[in-house]
């Protein structure tokens, strides 16, 4: 057992958990705009999608109001608040699931915490002014992601002497900074940031070496779902990357990943369960099958 507290809920991270992606943005790379009607977030559609993901096996729903795809433009704080907080509030009220908030904005972190969020998932690793203090105020755990550059320019020409060493060093540095500010490192989760300032070669090296990235034994969150690394390797468009995404899920589970952040929850849950069954050499409720 490796129980991890997400606000009022507890998940066992010794078993890989599945996080469903709920983008309330008009321009995300894979599903942008799908939860909009008349240029506004359609809350009923959002809740229906969240309910379906939970029914399919998601234990965490990740709500994001700012696209961080390569070349994405920043949104105003007001727009992010308008997109995210009503969704967090309603999911928290109506669905039994951990709500993660994909944000770098301290104001959104604090308000989401008040509405029942259980995790702060920050692609900028709490790098914005006031972000660390906001996490401390909420009392919530936080996921620190590695990104070289910014979403607007991160894929222009990413370079590393050794991507594995540099991502590992980044995690050590940020963990130390968080601890110095008053965040217990056991409240942190780490995300290598696949596709965030990295070439396909960088991504593949990281995927093949996940265990060293779990600095201080902290949980790893892996997000490879439908990303361009899969499209480049397989020559597939965004809507044809399920098989490649699931391959990275199996590889991640085998290397100890604690959370898989995905678009395709049902299929991912099946792969997680099957991979873990093989790893444990057991087949639950199906002896001799």
Catalytically active residues are 227, 261
- How far apart CA 112 and CA 123 sit, in angstroms, is 17
**3-state SS class at 61:** strand
- The single residue listed with the structure tokens 């540099």 is 166
- Tokens describing residue 259: 């959370």
CB-side exposure of 101: number of CA atoms within 13 Å?
35
- How far apart CA 122 and CA 201 sit, in angstroms, is 24
DSSP 79: H
Q: Which helix (H) or strand (E) holds 189?
A: strand 188-191
Which of these, 150, 143, 190, lies nearest to 69 by C-alpha position?
A: 150
- How far apart CA 19 and CA 156 sit, in angstroms, is 29
Cβ-contact 178, 131 below 8 angstroms: no
Q: Do strands 9-12 and 3-6 pair parallel, antiparallel, or not at all (unpaired)? A: antiparallel
Which of these, 188, 192, 224, lies nearest to 206 by C-alpha position?
A: 192
Q: DSSP letter string over 206-240? A: HHTT-GGGSGGG--BEE--TT-HHHHHHHT--GGG
Q: What is the distance of C-alpha 89 from the center of its chain?
A: 19
């Amino acid at each position: 057992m490796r129980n991890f507290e997400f606000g009022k809920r507890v998940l066992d991270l010794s078993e890989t958990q599945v996080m469903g992606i709920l983008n309330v943005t008009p321009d995300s790379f894979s599903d942008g705009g799908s939860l909009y009607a008349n240029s506004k977030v359609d809350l009923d559609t959002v809740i229906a999608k969240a309910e379906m993901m939970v029914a399919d096996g998601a234990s965490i729903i990740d709500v994001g109001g700012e696209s961080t795809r390569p070349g994405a433009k920043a949104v105003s704080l007001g727009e992010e608040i308008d997109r995210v907080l009503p969704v967090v509030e309603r999911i928290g009220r109506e669905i039994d699931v951990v709500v993660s908030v994909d944000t770098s904005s301290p104001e959104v972190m604090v308000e989401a915490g008040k509405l029942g969020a259980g995790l702060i998932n920050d692609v900028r690793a709490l790098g914005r002014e006031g972000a660390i203090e906001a996490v401390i105020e909420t009392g919530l755990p936080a996921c620190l992601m590695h990104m070289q550059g910014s979403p607007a320019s991160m894929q222009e020409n990413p370079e590393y002497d050794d991507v594995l060493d540099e991502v590992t060093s980044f995690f050590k540095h940020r963990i130390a900074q968080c601890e110095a500010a008053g965040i217990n490192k056991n409240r942190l989760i780490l995300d290598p940031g696949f596709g965030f300032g990295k070439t396909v070669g960088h991504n593949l090296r990281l995927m093949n070496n996940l265990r060293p990235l779990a600095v201080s034994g902290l949980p790893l969150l892996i997000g490879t779902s439908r990303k361009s690394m899969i499209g480049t390797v397989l020559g597939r468009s965004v809507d044809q990357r399920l098989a490649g995404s699931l391959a990275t899920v199996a590889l991640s589970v085998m290397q100890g990943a604690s959370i898989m952040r995905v678009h395709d929850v049902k299929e991912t849950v099946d792969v997680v369960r099957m991979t873990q069954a093989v790893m444990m050499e057991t087949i639950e409720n199906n002896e001799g099958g």
